[in-house]
Amino acid sequence: MSIVAQKTLVPHPWRKLREIQMVVRAVRAVSRRCLELSLQGLLRRWVDTGLAQQVTPWACSRCGAQEPSAFRRNGTYRRRLSTLAGDVTLEVPRLRCLCGAHVSLVFPVLEPRRRHWWDVWLQVVEGLGERVSVWHVRDRLQRRGVYLSRSTIVRWLARLRLPPLGAIPGTTDEIQADGLYGHLWGPLPHRWRNHTYALVIAANRDPRCPEKVLGAVLAAEEDQEAYRSLGDLLLSRGLAPEGSLTVLGDGAPAIKAGLGLSFPKAQFLRCLWHLSRLVADLGPPEARLALRRDCRRVLRAPTWDQALARYAAFRRSWLERAPESCRALAEGFEDAMLPLLPDGPQVRQRTNGLAERMAREFRRFLRPREALRSAATAPALVALALAQVNARHRREDWLVAFLGAAVGLPQRLTQFRIPLHT
Nearer to Zn ion, 65 or 384 (CB): 65
CA distance 132 to 383: 15
Residue 83 CB, nearest approach to Zn ion (Å)? 35
Q: Is 341 in the site for Zn ion (CB under 5 A)?
A: no
For residues 57 and 238, which CB has a smaller minimum distance to Zn ion in the complex?
57
CB 329 within 8 A of CB 337: no
Number of residues forming the site for Zn ion (CB under 5 A): 7
Nearer to Zn ion (CB atom), residue 65 or residue 128: 65
Given 26, 101, 106, 289, the residue binding Zn ion (CB under 5 A) = 101
Gap between the Cα atoms of 97 and 102, Å rounded: 6
* Spatial separation of the C-alpha atoms in residues 117 and 120, rounded to whole Å: 6
Give the whole-angstrom CA distance, residue 66 versus residue 192. Answer: 50
In the list 33, 45, 62, 348, the residue contacting Zn ion (rule: CB under 5 A) is 62
Stretch that binds Zn ion, among 94-102, 186-194, 307-315, 354-362 (CB under 5 A): 94-102
State how far the alpha carbon of 275 is from the alpha carbons of 176, 249, 256, 336, in Å: 15, 10, 15, 8
Q: Which of these ranges, 72-80, 98-106, 292-300, 348-356, lies near Zn ion under the rule CB under 5 A? A: 98-106
Cβ closer to Zn ion: 101 or 313?
101
CA 274 to chain centre: 28
Whole-number Å distance between alpha carbons of 221 and 197: 6
The answer to whether residue 63 forms part of the interface with Zn ion (CB under 5 A) is: yes
CB of 75 to Zn ion, least distance (A): 18
- 60 near Zn ion (CB under 5 A): yes
Of the ranges 33-41, 62-70, 162-170, 410-418, which one interacts with Zn ion (CB under 5 A)? Answer: 62-70
CA dist., res. 123 & res. 84, Å (int): 9
Please say which residue, 57 or 284, places its beta carbon nearer to Zn ion: 57
Stretch that binds Zn ion, among 36-44, 87-95, 101-109, 158-166 (CB under 5 A): 101-109
Among 99, 106, 240, 420, binds Zn ion (CB under 5 A): 99
Q: Which stretch binds Zn ion (CB under 5 A): 3-11, 54-62, 182-190, 313-321?
A: 54-62
Stretch that binds Zn ion, among 15-23, 53-61, 337-345, 403-411 (CB under 5 A): 53-61
User: Under the criterion CB under 5 A, does residue 72 sit at the interface with Zn ion?
Assistant: no
Closest approach of Cβ 136 to Zn ion, in Å? 50
The nearest distance, CB 101 to Zn ion, in angstroms, is: 5
CB of 59 to Zn ion, least distance (A): 9
7-46 mask for Zn ion (x: CB under 5 A)? ----------------------------------------
Minimum CB separation of residue 98 from Zn ion in Å reads 6
Nearer residue to Zn ion within complex by CB, 97 or 160 = 97
Q: Among 58-66, 85-93, 209-217, 220-228, which window interacts with Zn ion (CB under 5 A)?
A: 58-66
In the complex, what is the shortest distance from the CB of residue 69 to Zn ion, in angstroms, rounded to a whole number?
12
**Inter-residue contact 201 to 179 (CB < 8 Å):** yes
Instruction: Based on the shown chain and the rule CB under 5 A, indicate whether residue 233 belongs to the binding site for Zn ion.
Output: no
Neighbours of 130 (CB within 10 A): 13
Q: Which stretch binds Zn ion (CB under 5 A): 14-22, 32-40, 47-55, 89-97?
A: 89-97
Distance in Å, CB of 93 to Zn ion, minimum = 17
The edge-to-edge listing of strands for the beta sheet with 267-270 is 213-219, 196-204, 174-183, 246-249, 267-270
CB contact at 8 A, 376 and 383: no
- Report the C-alpha gap between 360 and 203 in whole angstroms: 12
**Least gap, CB of 108 to Zn ion (angstroms):** 23
Which residue ranges make up the site for Zn ion (CB under 5 A)? 60, 62-63, 65, 97, 99, 101
